[in-house]
A and B are shown apart, each in its own frame.
Chain A
Amino acid sequence: DTGVSQDPRHKITKRGQNVTFRCDPISEHNRLYWYRQTLGQGPEFLTYFQNEAQLEKSRLLSDRFSAERPKGSFSTLEIQRTEQGDSAMYLCASSFINSPLHFGNGTRLTVT
């Protein structure tokens, strides 16, 4: 069990640029989740996949955000035309169905 891996750990970008984050889940897990955490808040759900199917998206996930999980393995989260309000920690987690989520250490995005 190598844990959930996220890349990069930190990303600084200018407003209006596109960014993409990668998440490698625990290999046996069939569910993969994306959460966002801002300062002083708990993690907020964005979306989740079961295998390669995206089953739910939060209303927080505007049309500038897109997530994919090709072949049910790793996942990417892309943010287009970034805004300063997108600055946050983006957390990926994975799990079996009906099991606790295992989180990665996150990607910290700063939009200047």
Chain B
Amino acid sequence: DQQVKQNSPSLSVQEGRISILNCDYTNSMFDYFLWYKKYPAEGPTFLISISSIKDKNEDGRFTVFLNKSAKHLSLHIVPSQPGDSAVYFCAASAGNYGGSQGNLIFGKGTKLSVKP
């Protein structure tokens, strides 16, 4: 039973346009959400996070939106750059980074390709 779902295995966008990556979750106990980026042969790198008390968090070209009623979050990258080409993982935790539990639940990832 997948608690965090990324239903699009891949996404291709043109350089300079917006990339929108989507994530759905089923566990209503999740209260913290994160996006990680992963290049081949490297570990995941933290990108941006959002607490369930917010509906939007922005950091430069990256914005994460949270819709709690729909149990849905999305990552917007504007403008997209070829260097953004990577696999993006959505992750969730219960208890603020799993403050008492210590673990993140990851989706399967979406491979983003940004074409010049």
Contact of B43 among A31, A45, A91 (CB under 8 A): A91
In the bound complex, do residue B46 and residue A101 qualify as a contact, i.e. CB atoms below 8 Å apart? yes
B99 close to chain A: CB less than 8 A: yes
A97 touches B43 (CB 8 A): no
Measured between C-beta atoms, what is the minimum distance from A21 to chain B in Å?
13
Contact A43 B44 (CB under 8 A): yes
Q: Mark A32-72, 1 if CB is under 8 A from B, else 0.
A: 01000000111111001010000110100000000000000
Q: Does B57 contact A (CB under 8 A)?
A: no
Are A104 and B103 in contact, CB atoms less than 8 angstroms apart? no
**B37-50 contact mask (Cβ, 8 Å, vs A): 1 or 0:** 00001111110010
- A48–B108 Cα distance when bound, in Å, is 21
Q: What total of A-B pairs shows CB separation below 8 Å? A: 57
Expressed in whole angstroms, the Cα–Cα distance for A105 and B45 within the complex equals 10
* Interface of B, helix, strand, loop or mixed by DSSP: loop
Given A31-B102, A56-B102, A100-B97: A42 and B34 interface contact (C-beta under 8 Å): no
Given contacts A43-B89, A43-B106, contact A98 B99 (CB under 8 A): yes
Q: Is A103 an interface residue (CB 8 A)?
A: yes
Closest Cβ of chain A: how far from B24's Cβ, in Å?
14
A4 to B45, CA, bound (A): 11
Question: Are A95 and B97 also in contact (CB < 8 A) when A31-B102, A58-B103 are?
Answer: yes
| Closest beta carbon of chain B to A30's beta carbon, Å | 11
- Beyond the given A42-B4, A43-B89, A44-B106, could you list 7 further A-B residue pairs with CB under 8 A, ordered by the A residue number? A40-B108, A42-B108, A45-B102, A91-B43, A98-B99, A102-B46, A103-B45
